[in-house]
Amino acid sequence: MKQKEILLFGASGQIGRNLIRKLSQKNYKITAVTRNIHRKGYILKTQANPGYLDLVEIKNFDSNNIEKLIKKSSICINLIGILFEKKKNDFNLIHSDFPALLSKLINKHKLDKFIHLSALGIENAKDSDYAISKLNGEKRIRENFKKSIILKPSIVYSIDDKFSTSFMSLLSKLPIMPLYYKGKTKFSPIHVSDLVDIIENLIEENHNGLTLECVGPEEITFKEILQKLLRAINKKRILLPLPYPVAKFSAKVLQLLPTPLLTEDQLKLLKYDNCRSNMYKCNFDIGFESKKKFENEINKYSYNWKSGGQFAINN
């Protein structure tokens, strides 16, 4: 059987690596684009059997090289995204200008499908630069290539993530964990394998033009997430609600770290619930059920942060 070809941007991230594993098992051939083959080559190459994966290095969104790849593809998936800016205008460049360029070229070369990852809960966050840039990206993609499929996930988690694993690291070390907005912001975490299943279905079936919110089976508050993580690593910590001015000051300091633990923009975003909005369809509406529950899944890898490791006994 002839392999179907997929061009994948942002392949080395959490969702990209899981997607490569899934799609290569389903006989898709993937061309994965990275900015640095030297750094990301090993982690990418080990995700698929030889023959199912090609790696291409493209720096600085070079449009000639991107066009050459698009010309040869029938499906393109964009997973490039950032959570904080290293330089001013990075959000705009990465979440809006780059997807606009991709969708323009995809329209020019008449690809069958373009799947783009945006984010959930950004419509109301008019004070967040991250949210504004993601929304602008969605708008420009739709204008350039109407058939685009735009996915808006809540938090995506797994052993490969930068969310549950970072919080388990912090919770295992810090005696006190700050709670922003009293920990009341709601999330609907989706396991990466459920999201990857949704993407596979969207490739196989005809859902062109769809904007889809991707959520897990539960709605849980930030405080409940921390409590579940604490139970999973068998630790007791003080969860301390921070008044907004103190939270803002802490974000000002924390964003100075080379990889910021919290930025002022993230603090603004944390104010808004990250659950289905009913403005768009969600995965449950079209029969793509995400079944994996947060606490069950984190318990499968939380032993990495437990005293005593995998065989520790919970008190």
Ligand X SMILES: NC(=O)c1ccc[n+]([C@@H]2O[C@H](COP(=O)([O-])OP(=O)(O)OC[C@H]3O[C@@H](n4cnc5c(N)ncnc54)[C@H](OP(=O)(O)O)[C@@H]3O)[C@@H](O)[C@H]2O)c1
Chain residues that interact with ligand X, rule: CB under 6 A: 10, 12-16, 34-35, 40, 79-82, 94, 117, 119, 153, 155-156, 163
Q: How far is the CB of 117 from ligand X (least distance, A)?
A: 4
CB 260, CB 184: distance < 8 Å: no
Q: How far is the CB of 275 from ligand X (least distance, A)?
A: 13
CA–CA separation, 198 and 192 (whole Å): 10
Q: How far is the CB of 221 from ligand X (least distance, A)?
A: 17
CA–CA separation, 104 and 256 (whole Å): 36
Which residues neighbour 61 within 8 Å (Cβ) at sequence distance 6 or greater? 93, 97, 98, 101
DSSP symbols for 60-78: TT-HHHHHHHHHT-SEEEE
**Which of 84, 181 has the CB closer to ligand X?**
84
Question: How many C-alpha atoms does 135 have within 13 Å on its Cβ side?
Answer: 13
**Which of 218, 235 has the CB closer to ligand X?**
218
Q: How long, in residues, is the chain?
A: 315
* Exposed / middle / buried, residue 151 (Cβ in 10 Å: 0-12, 13-18, 19+): buried
Q: How far is the CB of 313 from ligand X (least distance, A)?
A: 32
- Three-class SS state of 81: coil
Name the nearest CA neighbour of 214 among 272, 281, 296: 281
Pairing mode, strands 28-34 and 53-57:
parallel
**Which of 153, 306 has the CB closer to ligand X?**
153
Q: How far is the CB of 29 from ligand X (least distance, A)?
A: 19
Q: How far is the CB of 308 from ligand X (least distance, A)?
A: 29
**Which of 153, 183 has the CB closer to ligand X?**
153
**Which of 32, 251 has the CB closer to ligand X?**
32
CB 312, CB 303: distance < 8 Å: yes
Q: How far is the CB of 155 from ligand X (least distance, A)?
A: 5
The dihedral over CA atoms of 210, 140, 20, 69, expressed in degrees to the nearest 10, equals: 120
**Which of 141, 306 has the CB closer to ligand X?**
141
Q: For residue 314, what are its two tokens?
A: 């919970």
**Which of 92, 250 has the CB closer to ligand X?**
92
Q: How far is the CB of 122 from ligand X (least distance, A)?
A: 9
Q: How far is the CB of 189 from ligand X (least distance, A)?
A: 8
The dihedral over CA atoms of 91, 262, 221, 298, expressed in degrees to the nearest 10, equals: 100
**Which of 35, 207 has the CB closer to ligand X?**
35
Where residue 205 falls (left for φ over 0; alpha for ψ -120 to 50; beta otherwise) is beta
**Which of 28, 91 has the CB closer to ligand X?**
91
CA–CA separation, 235 and 279 (whole Å): 39
